[in-house]
Amino acid sequence: MSQPAISPTGIRFQNIEKRYGGLCALRKVTLEIAPGESVVVAGRNGSGKSTLLRIAARLVRPSFGEVSFTASAAEGTAALPRTGFVAHATMVYDELTAEENLVLFARLQSISNPAARVEGLLREVGLYERRASLVRTFSRGMRQRVAIARALLSDPSVLFLDEPATGLDPQGVAWLAETLRKLRDAGCTMLMSLHGESELSSLATRAIRLEAGSVLSDTRTGADFRSILTFADA
Amino acid sequence: MALLSNAAVLLGKELRTEFRSRELLTTTVVFILIVIVLFSFTFDPTSDESRRFAPGLLWLAFLFASSLMLQPCFLREQHNDTLSALRLSVSDPFAIFLAKLAANTLFLLLTELLLLPVFAVMYNVPVLHVLHWLVLVFFLASLGISISGTALAAISAQARMRELLLPLLLLPLLTPILVASTEITKSLLDRAPFVQWKGIGFLAVFDLVFLTALWLFGEYLLEE
């Protein structure tokens, strides 16, 4: 897949706190993710990984603090960038076909020539032959491929990946790793929460470990970096 | 423009999925049909008695059926977290509401118009001469039910006792619509039919007020 020009975008988390009633999911998280970085967030179940990603994607409003997008590592905020979000829920309609799902989201995102874009993506994810089948007839892995295609529709400059390999077979994980590698090399900023996908964690240029909603460690090199990625693979 | 174009795309999706499954239409048509048929046995459907009781009964059936219809409109979006995908894709979250309330209004109106002939026959009430006025009342009332119902469906979908919460919130809120619609329908089905402009005005104002409130605060209803 040839990558179109991506305008590099960073993400700035300032003092992010998220409370659900009495439960504190995130505690004063401050992070600066540089444009083009590929960040793996690791941590135990309930450590706040998904909440962090959903706040970054503006799906969840933080109880305190602010998330902004930066045009460069320097100060200053950027306009809302094109983002893509892959979660363990597929975020596609079971009652629509793969093609109908992608055309729907392409039209909502005002993508020019949605039919051509959708056709290209369906070929890319290996579902072109099944484009007219209802998603509910697909296996879990095929649904996840549709979900990945949906996230890539807008050629995102920021990609949020919350356990993106859910349901994918080893070939699927390898394909996803290759696709993400191309995106990373094209300048796409990635924030991903992983669970047992070593091929995906090899894409990381930075690793963050969360525990009980706080950043326990944040590193780019060394033994700590490897130990966090190993944790993500555990 | 982006708002209307997004709403049109989403309305197309709502219609396509419904006409594929016919889940909502079948449920509501069957429910209203049962109510109309059952109650036709409880009193003598002579014209005079029908004119007194039937409008209230008809609107009560529509109201309960609408709560059945409105319940799934946001619950369905939770199944695969498609609501998040929509929120990430649309430029204005109001487009999501606009599409859903337009779809709900269409479905409700379609159900009402399908069952009006059955009602007319079972209760021996001629409706043809006031059909255009009835369609106007059905439209305004269905719009009001859909606007407030869609907003409450978004709230209740995120609550724990969601199946119970929607009717609990919806039915008291829709009492003014029920009263106004029943009164207007009663006057239209009278031996000397007349149009209650005050009632029609009330329905229009209700729709406008709730639509404005939804436009202003709808975004917050979609947040997790």
* Band (B72; pLDDT cuts 50, 70, 90): confident
CA distance, residue B136 to nearest chain A CA (Å): 32
- How confident is the model at residue A122, as a pLDDT? 95
Q: And the tokens for B16?
A: 């396509």
Q: How does pLDDT run across A152-177, given as a tens digit for each residue?
A: 998 899 999 998 988 888 888 898 99
Q: Is B85–A57 a contact, with Cβ atoms under 8 angstroms apart?
A: no
**CA neighbours closer than 13 Å in the CB half-sphere of residue B155:** 17
Average pLDDT of the segment spanning A70-99: 80
Beta carbons of B36 and A127 less than 8 angstroms apart: no
Give tens-digit pLDDT for A217-231.
888 876 666 676 666
How far does the CA of residue A91 sit from the closest CA of chain B (Å)?
4
Closest by Cα among B185, B151, B188 to B169: B151
Instruction: Report chain A residues whose CB lies below 8 A from the CB of B2.
Output: 110
Closest chain A residue to the Cα of B20, Cα to Cα: A95
CA distance A49 to A53: 6
Chains A, B: CB pairs < 8 Å: 60
CA distance B103 to B42: 34
Give the pLDDT mean for A14-38: 91
Phi, psi (rounded to 5 degrees) for A77:
-100, 155
In whole angstroms, give the CA distance from residue A134 to residue A49: 32
Residue A77's pLDDT band (cuts 50, 70, 90)? low
Residue of A nearest to B4 (CA): A108
Can you tell me which residue has the tokens 């309609």? A93
pLDDT of residue A72: 59
Q: Which two tokens stand for residue B110?
A: 């379609």
Residue B80 and residue A110: Cβ atoms within 8 Å? no
| Distance separating alpha carbons of residues B170 and A104, to the nearest angstrom | 31
Distance from the A101 Cα atom to the nearest Cα atom in chain B, whole angstroms: 9
Q: Where are the alpha helices (DSSP H) in chain A?
A: 49-56, 98-108, 114-124, 140-152, 170-185, 198-201, 222-233
B81 vs A91: CB contact, 8 Å cut-off? Answer: yes
The structure tokens 């996840």 sit at A144
CA distances from B199 to A20, B177, B186, B205 (A): 44, 9, 11, 10
- At B182, the amino acid letter reads T
Residue A58 to residue A12: CA distance in whole angstroms: 13
Judge whether B15 and B107 are in contact, CB under 8 Å.
no
Q: What was the pLDDT predicted at B41? A: 83
Phi, psi of A3 (to 5 degrees): -90, 130
Q: Closest to B17 (Cβ–Cβ): which among A83, A93, A109?
A: A93
Whether residue A73 has pLDDT greater than 60: no
Instruction: Give the number of other Cβ atoms within 10 Å of residue A172's Cβ.
Output: 18
SS3 label, residue A4: coil
- What's the gap in Å between the CA of A39 and the closest CA on chain B? 21
Q: Which chain A positions have a beta carbon within 8 Å of B90's beta carbon?
A: 108
CA-based nearest residue to A160, from A150, A151, A172, A147: A151
Per-residue pLDDT of A113-128, as tens digits, reads 999 999 999 999 999 9
Parse chain B into domains and list their residue ranges.
2-221
B positions 148-177 inside 8 Å of A (CB): none
pLDDT in tens, B108-144: 999 999 999 999 998 888 899 999 999 999 999 999 9
Residue B165 has pLDDT above 70, yes or no: yes
Model confidence pLDDT, tens digit, residues B176-224? 999 999 999 999 998 888 989 999 999 999 999 999 999 999 888 887 7
Q: Decide which of B11 and A233 is more confident.
A: B11
Q: Which of residues 84-113 of B touch A (CB under 8 A)?
A: 84-91
| Nearest CA among A61, A85, A75 for reference residue A162 | A85
User: What confidence score (pLDDT) does residue A6 get?
Assistant: 65
Pairing state between β A189-193 and A158-162: parallel
> Tokens 């032959």 belong to which residue?
A129
Listing DSSP states for A62-105 in one string gives -SEEEEEEESSSSS-B-PPPPEEEE-SS--S-TTSBHHHHHHHH
Is the minimum CB–CB distance between B2 and chain A shorter than 8 Å?
yes
Residue A75 confidence class, pLDDT cut points 50, 70, 90: very low
pLDDT given for residue A50 in this prediction: 92
Mean pLDDT of B47-58: 84
| A62 contacts in chain B (CB < 8 Å) | none
Three-state SS letters, chain B: CHHHHHHHHHHHHHHHHHHHHCHHHHHHHHHHHHHHHHHHCCCCCCHHHHHHHHHHHHHHHHHHHHHHHHCHHHHHHHCCCHHHHHHHHCCCCHHHHHHHHHHHHHHHHHHHHHHHHHHHHHCCCCCHHHHHHHHHHHHHHHHHHHHHHHHHHHHHCCCCCHHHHHHHHHHHHCHHHHHHHHHHHHHHCCCCCCCCHHHHHHHHHHHHHHHHHHHHHHHHHCCC
Give the three-class secondary structure for A179: helix
Sign of CA dihedral A127, A129, A131, A136: negative
Q: Which residue has the higher pLDDT, B31 or B44?
A: B31
Q: How far is B43 from chain A (nearest CA, A)?
A: 44
Name the residue in chain B with its Cα closest to that of A61. B223
Give the other-Cβ count within 10 Å of A89's Cβ.
Answer: 18
B21·A91 Cβ contact <8 A: no
Q: Select the residue of A85, A89, A96 nearest B88 (Cβ to Cβ).
A: A85
- Whole-number average pLDDT of chain A: 87
A78: pLDDT confidence band, cut at 50, 70 and 90? low
Distances, alpha carbon B161 to alpha carbons A20, A175, A191, B166, B168, in Å: 18, 42, 35, 9, 11
Contact between chains at A54 and B90 (C-beta distance less than 8 A)? no
**3-class secondary structure, A15:** strand
The Cα A203–Cα A184 span in angstroms is: 8
CA proximity to B88, closest of A159, A9, A199, A70: A159
